[in-house]
A = this chain, B = another copy of it.
């Protein structure tokens, strides 16, 4: 129902077309910390987050976690290179909160894209928005102070602030937990 409403509010589709898309999906329930993709495995699904919150991350040789992406409700995720090329993924995708997700196998998703031009167009728009955001994020990562990075995060993801442990926000911004704690402390005092 969540997914059907999401489609209705984003794309002009007939009821039977919506059914065609959602009938190909499998529903998966994730507990906190469950993985839907493990580094080393091949990403075989497109993933829509119906409720909850996922994160995409890698773990370095020292056991530190580096977060590439947060995927809250009503967003999509996957490891695109692993999915496209059927090669092992370098990232994990796991649940930050208990989550309900819909997943499509590649063949099914490609069929849907081929059958429904308006869905294909919408999917392409999402990819474009993602490209714009990642360019901006790279520029911010290279050029902004830690304070500016945090400010940018607050503006872009206001509803994630309360849902994420500080260490994950710090990891996403590429700053230390100590620095982030200092920034927040300074802001609270103003």
Q: Which residues of A contact B (CB under 8 A)?
A: 58, 60, 64, 66-68, 80-81, 84, 90-91, 127-128, 130-132, 134-139, 141-143, 171, 174
Are B84 and A135 neighbours in the complex by a CB distance under 8 Å? no
Residue of B nearest to A172 (CB): B142
Contacts of A141 in B (CB 8 A): 138, 141-142, 174
Chain A at the B interface: SS class: helix
Set B60, B132, B138: member contacting A137, Cβ < 8 A: B138
Are B143 and A80 neighbours in the complex by a CB distance under 8 Å? no
Are A66 and B142 neighbours in the complex by a CB distance under 8 Å? yes
- 20 A-B pairs with C-beta separation under 8 A: A58-B143, A60-B143, A66-B142, A67-B142, A68-B138, A80-B131, A80-B132, A81-B132, A81-B136, A84-B132, A90-B139, A91-B139, A131-B131, A134-B138, A138-B138, A138-B141, A141-B141, A141-B142, A141-B174, A142-B174
Distance of A149 from chain B, by nearest CB (Å): 11
Complex CA–CA separation, A127 to B134 (angstroms)? 13
Distance of A164 from chain B, by nearest CB (Å): 16
Contacts of A137 in B (CB 8 A): 138
Contacts of A67 in B (CB 8 A): 142
Residue of B nearest to A175 (CB): B142
Contacts of A132 in B (CB 8 A): 80-81, 84
Given the interface pairs A141-B141, A141-B174, A174-B141, the reply to whether A68 lies near B135 with Cβ below 8 Å is yes
Distance of A90 from chain B, by nearest CB (Å): 7
Residue of B nearest to A125 (CB): B84
Distance of A131 from chain B, by nearest CB (Å): 6
Contacts of A142 in B (CB 8 A): 66-68, 141, 171, 174
Distance of A12 from chain B, by nearest CB (Å): 21
Residue of B nearest to A174 (CB): B142
